[in-house]
Amino acid sequence: MNTILITGASSGIGRATALCFAKKGWNVIAGMRSPENETELKVIQNIMVTRLDVEDKESIQESIKLGIESFEEIDVLFNNAGHGSMGIFEAATEERIRKQFDVNVFGLMNMTQAVLSHFRARKKGMVINMSSMGGRITLPLMSVYHASKFAVEGFSEALSYELAPQNITVKLIEPGAVNTAFGRRPSDFYFDDNLEDYNQYRGQVIQALGKLKAEMLSPEKVAEVVYLAATDGSSQLRYVVGEDAKALINLREKSGDEGFIKQISQMF
């Protein structure tokens, strides 16, 4: 049986992916910050729930160690844990910006670096990184989030070159809007009503973005593409998921920077 280690498995895409792989006969190491609150995954025989916080290097090492002790080997790392945010950049605190990168970028890097020695020893392995259409295109009010996902894209593509001779594959999942709590919590937003110059534009953008999110992907649909990426035997780097993601990325590629930016500006 193959084994996948998933970060951020308590909800959303991470949870759906854990269930998808378990049903397909894989062993699953389901990492989450608060495993004591988990009930459903714990009773599934081929899922091991473990405490894993990508901002805590000790928990990263311990989860990998426990996973190998339980299942002997890890075949795939799915860096799913992430944090979404939206707001006016001028209102973003240094703490908020660092938090975005600590989870989406540095946590992902910490996980990847920690598992590579195991993959090299086995002479095979796969790293699947959760990106977003927001790593390929941009929308207003999401500058900090886009910055983190653009970093994931660049890191993953460059890393794929140096790991290929080690028989280690790197892949990226790029979904559009997904129906999860991601980016919906009040704490995910940073606005300042005292910055009145932005208020009218902010309202226009939020209204327009609401229309774009009218039809969202289910987490299960994204999980299916993660499974495809893990099992298709290809060296394909990017997997775009969702009609909105396909349309906007295609628009960027066909229109070029100037054309894309002009059309997005007209939308808002």
**What positions carry a catalytic annotation?**
131, 145, 149
Q: Which residues, in sequence order, are bridge partners of residue 51? A: 32
Contacts of 95 (CB under 8 A, 6+ apart): none
Q: Are 174 and 249 in contact (CB under 8 A)?
A: yes
- Smallest Cα–Cα separation from 222: which of 160, 256, 178? 178
How far is residue 150's CA from residue 54's CA, in Å, rounded to a whole number? 19
Q: Which own/partner pairs from 20-28 qualify as long-range (CB within 8 Å, at least 24 positions apart)? A: 20/220, 20/223, 20/224, 20/226, 20/227, 21/223, 21/227, 21/230, 22/46, 22/47, 24/227, 25/1, 26/1, 26/2, 27/1, 27/2, 27/3, 27/70, 27/71, 28/3, 28/4
Burial 214-231, CB ≥16 within 10 A → b, else e: eebbebebbbebbbebbe
